[in-house]
Amino acid sequence: MRAARLLAAAVTVAALAAACSQDGVEPKRWAKTVCAALTPWRAEIADLTAKAQQQLQAARTPAATKTNIVDLLAGAESASEKARAGVEGAGIPRVDDGGKVAEQFTASLSKARDAYGNAKRAISALPTDNAKTFYGEVGKAFTTLKDEYERSAIDPAHVGPADLQKAFDEVPECR
């Protein structure tokens, strides 16, 4: 009987200790890590987008355009995966619904990565023997990319509880 009470008391203490301990990453540290992953990604995506626009304007042949655009989309896909891995590596913020918030960020980057990959595969599959058809299909692929990318967007300033939003506002890496 006494052993049962001691066991019950030990289980209760362990349960209370688990309930009181907060696993996860302090919000400012999490925000800093997330922004450190997102900042170079955004810059690289902007650079790749500008290069893609230049490639389309300076296109000499559909085949050369295809090669350049596929390479640029592969770079965007890779950069998105690198950012997703960086955000995933940030862990889970120690806030209400921290797991959900972390998942929203990684899911958003996964969708962006997939949007670039889908565009890359679509353009890779295009024949280049008819320039008008090729460029028309490239335009469609970029419209789809834009739509998929916009659906993936997440704004750190409007995600999660107030203490996490405050952390994003205060951390220099997020400005």
Question: Is residue 60 over pLDDT 80?
Answer: yes
Average pLDDT over residues 112-120: 96
pLDDT band at 22 (very low <50, low <70, confident <90, very high): low
Average pLDDT over residues 24-48: 93
* pTM of structure: 0.81
- What does pLDDT average to over the chain? 84
Which of 53-62, 64-73, 125-134 shows the lowest mean pLDDT across its residues? 53-62
- How far apart are alpha carbons 15 and 99 in whole angstroms? 21
The distance between the two most distant Cα atoms of the chain, rounded to a whole number of Å, is: 88
Q: Are 110 and 151 in contact (CB under 8 A)?
A: no
Q: Give the side-chain half-sphere CA count within 13 A for 121.
A: 7
3-state secondary structure of 41: helix
- The pLDDT score that the predictor gives to residue 5 is 36
Query: What number of other Cβ atoms are within 10 A of residue 120's Cβ?
Result: 21
**Residue at 141: amino acid letter:** A
- The pLDDT score that the predictor gives to residue 59 is 74
- Any residues with CB less than 8 A from the CB of 144 and at least 6 apart, and which? 118, 119, 122
